[in-house]
Amino acid sequence: MSDRDWPHARTSRGLLPQQEEFLSAFRRLGNLKAALVATGFKSRRVWRWLREDRAFQDAFDKACGNAVGTAKKLVEYGTLGAVSTLLDAQSAMKGVVMKVHCPKCGEEFAVDTLIEDWSARLKSSEMLLKGAGILKDQREDIHVHLTFPELSALALLRGDPDAKVPPYMIDKFREMGLLPPGRGENVVEGEVREVPNA
């Protein structure tokens, strides 16, 4: 039966007949993919129902045995575990081998020891602060709005730094941080790289 042949009135549970058919197949087969195959519905239709239709969302959740609620709880528990791991990383240590010179006998020995792992400690601090919304990566807050001709000109400059582009566009790109101070050369691609200290 095609979609156009289905009546569009809702059942006593507030569902469309197609939704009832899909849920019946889902309960019977216990598998989303099998229910889609059995009913002939496209997955995008079911996802649309799940996004937009509250009655279908509730009925689907019941058919899943409250799996949606269970999934939310699992995500919460996983989040707590991740935070716990980050907190543990605040006291991270790492093993190193140090050479020790004995002043009495003049021999050199290799000694295994633990030192603070400041790289792990700082990274975990950064992730905790970002997760709490206290620290933000500035790159996340950059929103660039360009017209189609401007996008085309920027793409042209990225391919050929000496391309003929109107000066006002180059000035605009430079103001927006998309170009360095010089004429179109070395167009900024919007990525940040760590540079080791000299």
Give domain status of residue 48, yes or no.
yes
Instruction: Domain count for the chain, please give it.
Output: 2
**Structural domain of 40:** 3-65
pLDDT > 70? residue 182: no
Any domain includes 54: yes
Rounded to whole angstroms, the Cα distance separating 78 from 150 reads 44
126 domain-assigned: no
Say which residue, 69 or 34, is predicted with more confidence. 34
Higher pLDDT, 151 or 93: 93
- What pLDDT score was predicted for residue 75? 74
Mean of the pLDDT values across residues 30-40?
87
Q: Read off the pLDDT of each residue in 149-162 and give the average, rounded to a whole number.
A: 77
104 is a domain residue: no
| Residue 153 counted as domain residue | yes
Q: Rounded to whole angstroms, how far apart are CA atoms 43 and 33?
A: 8
Domain boundary among 30, 50, 65: 65
Instruction: Pick the last residue of a domain from 44, 65, 86.
Output: 65
Asked if residue 137 has pLDDT above 80, the reply is no
Q: Is residue 183 part of a domain?
A: yes
Which is it for strands 93-101 and 108-116: parallel, antiparallel or unpaired? antiparallel
Neighbouring C-beta atoms of residue 130, cutoff 10 Å: 13
Lowest mean pLDDT among 7-11, 67-71, 102-106, 143-147: 67-71
Task: Please report which confidence band the pLDDT of residue 189 belongs to, taking 50, 70 and 90 as the band edges.
Answer: very low
Instruction: Give the pLDDT confidence score for residue 40 in this predicted structure.
Output: 92
Is 31 within a domain?
yes
Range 12-40 average pLDDT: 89
In a domain, 18, yes or no: yes
> Where residue 37 falls among pLDDT bands split at 50, 70, 90?
very high
| Spatial contact of 157 and 187, defined as CB atoms under 8 Å apart | yes
Last residue of a domain, one of 35, 65, 95: 65
